[in-house]
């Protein structure tokens, strides 16, 4: 049986659908759903950042050879000064790792694990995740998570979220929870409007927008 058969089953009436499912194993149905979702999210172009050019990579390696006591951030800064604006710390790290070079030195200090262990209860983060059904309808889930406990403190679902919808839930959050965090972290998605941020600021929470193109900084991912 194929994905087309699965879609046909999805269009059946409830009784006919139940009769159809009686002869299908659960693992088969789950497999169909995965194929549908995989096909639904197929991109024409490969997502993500473009590959770093050979010139930029060779420059990173040269600076590394000539300055063995420099860290990733210092090397990235020097490369950007020479005209390669897209080179960041993580890019330098990947290039050196790909060439088998040892990790760079770093300054001892408070780690992120220590920081969130002490202050995580004062920091929340929010983001969107998507759920795609067997009929290829996509729902967007807005959720708020407490960093220290990884506990979901608030969530809502919409098929067509926009800035006004998000702002309304920012307002609801300030009503539902008496103890809001000192800081709320989110990315720069267009649905997170300045108006929504102001609602939380008025309630006593400082909103922190992540830097552009920095997915690894968003703790819920």
Q: Which is higher by pLDDT, 218 or 210?
A: 210
Q: Are residues 121 and 189 in the same domain?
A: yes
Two structure tokens written together for 28: 């088969």
* Model pLDDT for residues 120-165, shown as the tens digit of each residue: 668 899 999 999 988 889 999 999 998 888 889 999 999 999 999 9
* Count of Cβ atoms closer than 10 Å to residue 59 Cβ: 19
Q: Are residues 140 and 58 in the same domain?
A: no
The phi and psi torsions of 177 (rounded to 5 degrees) equal -105, 120
Q: What is the pLDDT of residue 83?
A: 85
Say how many domains are in the chain. 3
Burial degree of 100 (CB within 10 A; 0-12, 13-18, 19+): exposed
Range(s) of the domain holding residue 36: 3-40
Q: What is the rounded average pLDDT for all residues in the chain?
A: 79
* Model pLDDT for residues 9-18, shown as the tens digit of each residue: 555 555 566 6
Two structure tokens written together for 148: 């220290």
């Amino acid at each position: 049986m194929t994905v087309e058969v699965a879609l046909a089953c999805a269009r059946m009436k409830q009784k006919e659908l139940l009769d159809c499912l009686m002869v299908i194993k659960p693992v088969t149905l789950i497999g169909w759903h995965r194929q549908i979702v995989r096909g639904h999210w197929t991109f024409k172009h490969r997502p993500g950042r473009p590959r770093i050019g050979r010139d930029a990579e060779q420059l990173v390696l040269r600076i590394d050879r000539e300055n063995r006591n420099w860290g990733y951030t210092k090397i990235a800064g020097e490369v950007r000064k020479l005209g390669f604006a897209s080179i960041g710390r993580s890019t330098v790290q990947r290039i050196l790792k790909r060439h088998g070079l040892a990790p760079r030195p770093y300054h001892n200090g408070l780690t992120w694990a220590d920081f969130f262990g002490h202050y995580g209860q004062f920091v929340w983060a929010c983001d969107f995740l998507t759920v795609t059904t067997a009929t290829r309808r996509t729902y967007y889930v807005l959720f708020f998570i407490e960093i220290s406990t990884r506990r979901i403190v608030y969530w809502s679902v919409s098929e067509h979220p926009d800035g006004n919808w998000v702002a309304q839930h920012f307002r609801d959050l300030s009503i539902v929870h008496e103890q809001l965090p000192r800081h709320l972290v989110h990315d720069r998605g267009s649905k997170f409007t300045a108006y929504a941020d102001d609602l939380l600021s008025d309630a006593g929470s400082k909103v922190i927008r992540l830097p552009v193109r920095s997915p690894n900084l968003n703790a819920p991912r």
